[in-house]
Structure 1
Amino acid sequence: MSLLLGPMCQHIPGKKGLTDHSDVKRLMPAKEVYIPLFAGNNSEVELLVNEGDHVYIGTRLANTKSAFPVPLYSSVSGIYKGTVKRPHNSLKPQLHMVIELDEDQEAVQAFEPIDWENASHEDLVEFVKNTGIIGQGGAGFPTYVKYQKVENIDTLIINAVECEPYITADYKCVMDYPEQFVHGVRILKKLAQVDRVLIGVKKTHPDLINLVRDEIKRENLVGIEVVAVPDVYPMGGERTLIRQLVKREYKRLPGECGVIVNNANTAILVARAAEMGQAQAKKYVTFSGEGLKYPTNVLVPIGMSVAEIIEQIGGTIEDVQSLKLISGGPMMGRTMVSDQIVIDRAMNAITILKDEEEPAMTCLRCGRCTSHCPMGLQPVRIANAVKMNDAAEMEKRGAMNCIECGLCTYVCPSHIQVTENVRKAKRTLMMKANKK
């Protein structure tokens, strides 16, 4: 970590106006969805249906056998047609379950609702595990894992900041379902066994702040507070948000400093699961960027093709030499090589931009990448270690602690892809660890 810490954040033009006040488009695929079976490296999947079976919205399709197993549920009703390898936002082809839609789109109750107010902590954790809910902020970490040990937790933070440029999916979802959102926060508060919940919202969304505060007041809830946070990036990152709201630091996980952080949309899914026995079937996703003719938010079944969604909302702009399609936002998202990827459970945005990267120049040694790094790293030193193929130096400089927020690349006056250099360092260290 650098001894001289700088601002560790930066205001970035949000480009939220492209989508935050337009109507959400509710779309359906013409024929099929493709449910990804990918659940992290070295994970296995147990299929629970056979080719030719008729499934419903909410049918349990599979169980993952990873270190933190979660079930997969169907997002549509129709005929299960088997598995196929397709492009995936992990940048590697992955197996997908193919479901051919029927006309009825009938839903079933995925699991029994729970009397969450009277349930024990263990029963509530097990319930959330069986819902298959994973974090909705992009990382996709199983929600139940965060709540297995809460003895030292005193604060729950609900992240409704959405600091990435262009993305407004969480904003639209909470604006559409404020009652379910606040109800989900109550359940997570019980799950965390805390007296204090802080809901972080950017100060540039006073409408959302007031809506949630009014709902908390209407329910006469105590211990739940909405906090307006500065419009800087990466305020939605766990470490930055914890630093802003409770002035604490930690080494690896937020639980080390007594905090659990969950995404806003995760709270809505928990409420629907607990009250209605409903598994996640659809997803709010922001389709934005100057490469689209009509940027908008969509509500689509999990497994719907990105290419089909783009076609249904009006397509990309014309007369442009090259476009890049990013899974996620422009800062932390990954540039895809195919538009045949599908909407996964944790995906919150597809950003399409003109491919206009400026050529890199020689590093000026200005130190901006270091002063802005929210992790307090020295990205230029890590980049030098990559050039020298010095794994020991990469490890010494904390490359594995990088959250890949992209801020170092954004502030670099030489237009160097600093973040990509740190990613290379992380890959080097991971390969080295796998060889041991």
Structure 2
Amino acid sequence: MSLLLGPMCQHIPGKKGLTDHSDVKRLMPAKEVYIPLFAGNNTQIELLVSEGDHVFIGTRLANTKSAFPVPLYSSVSGTVKGVTKRPHNSLKPQQHLVIELDEQQEAIQAFPPMDWHNASHDELVEFVKESGIIGQGGAGFPTYVKYQKVENINTLVINAVECEPYITADYKCVMDYPEQFVHGVRILQKMAEVDTVLIGVKKTHPDLINTIREEINREHAAGIEVREVPDVYPMGGERTLIRTLLKREYKRLPGECGVIVNNANTAILVARAFEMGQAQAKKYVTFSGEGLKYPTNVLVPVGMSVAEILEQIGGFVEKQESLKLIAGGPMMGKTMVSDQIVIDRAMNAITVLKNHDEEEMTCMRCGNCTQHCPIGLQPVRIANAVKMNDAEEMEKRGAMQCIECGLCTYVCPSHIQVTENVRKAKRTLMMKARKK
């Protein structure tokens, strides 16, 4: 960590106005969905259905076989057509289960609902595990894992900040379902066994703040409080949000300082699982950016093709030679080489921008990247270690702690792709670890 810490954040134009007050478009595929059979590195999938099987919305399709297993459920009803390899937002082709839609789109209860008021801690955690809920903030980490050991936890933080430019999917989802949101927060509060819950919302969204506060008061939800946070990036990062709300620091995981953090949309999925026996089938996703004719939020089944969604909402702007399609937001998202990727369970945005690549210049040693790093790293030193292929120096400078927020690249006056250099360092260290 750098000894001379700077602001560790930066105001960035949000571009939220492109989508935050337009109606959500509810779309369906014309023929098929492609459910990604992928849940992180080194994960095996146990398929529970075969080609020709009929499935409903809520049918259990597969189990992941990893250190933190979670099941996969169907987002549509129809016929299983087999498995195919397709482009994926992991930047590597992955296996996808193909389901051909039927006309009925009939849903079943994926699992029996649970009376969470009277359930034990272990019962609550096991239920969330079997419901297949993963974090909705983008990383897709299984939700139940955070709650397995709560002895040292004293605060639950609900992240409703949505700090990435362009993205408004969480905002729209909570505004549409405030009752389910607060119900989900209460369930997570019980799972965490805490009295204090802080919901972080940007002060620039007073309508969302008021909506949540009104629902908390209506529910008489004790211990749950909305906290306004500054409109800076990356306020939605766990470390920055905890630092702002609680003035606490930690080395690796929030649990080290007594905190669990969950995304706002995750809370809604928790409420639907417990109260309706409903697995995740659809996803709010922001399609935005100056490269689209009609930026909007969509509600689509998991597994719907991005290309098909783009076609249904009006497509790209005309007379533009070069566009950049990003899975996620412009800061932390990954640039895709194909629009044949599909919406997965954790994806919250597709951003399409006009491609304005600026020529990279020599590093000015200005220190902007170090001053703005929310982790307190020295990205330029990590980048130098990458050039020298010095893995020991990469590790010494804390490359693996980088959250890839993209702020170092954003503030660099020399237009250096600093974040990408740190990503290379992380890949080098991970490969080194695998060889041991």
With the shorter chain as reference, the TM-score category is over 0.9
1:32-43 to 2 correspondences below 5 Å: 32-43=32-43
C-alpha displacement at 1:222, in angstroms? 1.3
* One-letter amino acid of the structure 2 residue matched with residue 9 of structure 1: C
1:87-98 to 2 correspondences below 5 Å: 87-98=87-98
Partner of 2:117 in structure 1? 117
Q: Distance in 2 between matches of 1:221 and 1:327?
A: 36
Query: Are 1:406 and 2:406 matched, yes or no?
Result: yes
Q: Distance in 2 between matches of 1:293 and 1:304?
A: 20
Give per-residue Cα distances to partners, 1:150-193, cap 9 Å, x unaligned. Answer: 00000000000000000000000000000000000000000000
Query: Are 1:266 and 2:266 matched, yes or no?
Result: yes
* One-letter amino acid of the structure 2 residue matched with residue 390 of structure 1: D
Helix, strand or coil: the match of 1:221?
A: coil
Q: Distance in 2 between matches of 1:9 and 1:39?
A: 31
* One-letter amino acid of the structure 2 residue matched with residue 276 of structure 1: M
Q: Distance in 2 between matches of 1:428 and 1:146?
A: 28
Q: Distance in 2 between matches of 1:53 and 1:428?
A: 43
Q: Distance in 2 between matches of 1:123 and 1:221?
A: 22
Partner of 2:135 in structure 1? 135
Partner of 2:156 in structure 1? 156
Q: Distance in 1 between matches of 2:11 and 2:403?
A: 18
C-alpha displacement at 1:42, in angstroms? 1.0
Partner of 1:173 in structure 2? 173
C-alpha displacement at 1:39, in angstroms? 1.0
> Normalising by structure 2, what TM-score?
1.00
Q: Distance in 2 between matches of 1:259 and 1:7?
A: 23
Q: Distance in 1 between matches of 2:149 and 2:132?
A: 19
Q: Distance in 2 between matches of 1:23 and 1:12?
A: 25
Q: Distance in 2 between matches of 1:128 and 1:17?
A: 35
Give per-residue Cα distances to partners, 1:55-100, cap 9 Å, x unaligned. Answer: 0000000000011000000000000011000000000000000000
Q: Distance in 2 between matches of 1:43 and 1:389?
A: 29
Q: Distance in 2 between matches of 1:53 and 1:427?
A: 40
Q: Distance in 1 between matches of 2:237 and 2:408?
A: 15
Partner of 2:244 in structure 1? 244
Q: Distance in 2 between matches of 1:82 and 1:123?
A: 35
Partner of 1:369 in structure 2? 369
* One-letter amino acid of the structure 1 residue matched with residue 212 of structure 2: V
1:345-356 to 2 correspondences below 5 Å: 345-356=345-356
Give per-residue Cα distances to partners, 1:271-294, cap 9 Å, x unaligned. Answer: 000000000000000000000000
Partner of 2:147 in structure 1? 147
C-alpha displacement at 1:24, in angstroms? 0.1
Bigger CA drift: 215-224 or 143-152?
Answer: 215-224
Partner of 1:357 in structure 2? 357
Partner of 1:26 in structure 2? 26
Partner of 2:199 in structure 1? 199
Identity level (%) = 86
* One-letter amino acid of the structure 2 residue matched with residue 63 of structure 1: N
Partner of 2:62 in structure 1? 62
Query: Are 1:4 and 2:4 matched, yes or no?
Result: yes
Q: Distance in 2 between matches of 1:52 and 1:142?
A: 30
C-alpha displacement at 1:219, in angstroms? 1.1
> Normalising by structure 1, what TM-score?
1.00
* One-letter amino acid of the structure 2 residue matched with residue 62 of structure 1: A
Partner of 1:228 in structure 2? 228
Partner of 1:430 in structure 2? 430
C-alpha displacement at 1:335, in angstroms? 0.2
Q: Distance in 2 between matches of 1:428 and 1:386?
A: 9
Helix, strand or coil: the match of 1:338?
A: coil
Helix, strand or coil: the match of 1:117?
A: helix
Give per-residue Cα distances to partners, 1:293-339, cap 9 Å, x unaligned. Answer: 00000000000000000000000011111001000000000000100
Helix, strand or coil: the match of 1:433?
A: helix
Structure 1 runs not aligned, ≥5 long: none
Partner of 2:285 in structure 1? 285
Query: What number of residue pairs does the alignment pair up?
Result: 436
Partner of 2:46 in structure 1? 46
Query: Are 1:330 and 2:330 matched, yes or no?
Result: yes
Give per-residue Cα distances to partners, 1:224-263, cap 9 Å, x unaligned. Answer: 0000000000000000000000110001100010000000
Helix, strand or coil: the match of 1:213?
A: helix
Helix, strand or coil: the match of 2:165?
A: coil
Question: Which portions of structure 1, spanning 4 or more consecutive aligned residues, are displaced by more than 3 angstroms?
Answer: none
C-alpha displacement at 1:41, in angstroms? 1.1
* One-letter amino acid of the structure 1 residue matched with residue 193 of structure 2: Q
Q: What is the RMSD computed on CA atoms of the aligned residues?
A: 0.4
Q: Distance in 2 between matches of 1:302 and 1:416?
A: 35
Q: Distance in 1 between matches of 2:306 and 2:433?
A: 35
C-alpha displacement at 1:220, in angstroms? 1.3
Give per-residue Cα distances to partners, 1:372-407, cap 9 Å, x unaligned. Answer: 000000001111111111111111100111000000
* One-letter amino acid of the structure 1 residue matched with residue 200 of structure 2: G
* One-letter amino acid of the structure 2 residue matched with residue 180 of structure 1: Q
Partner of 1:392 in structure 2? 392
* One-letter amino acid of the structure 2 residue matched with residue 387 of structure 1: K
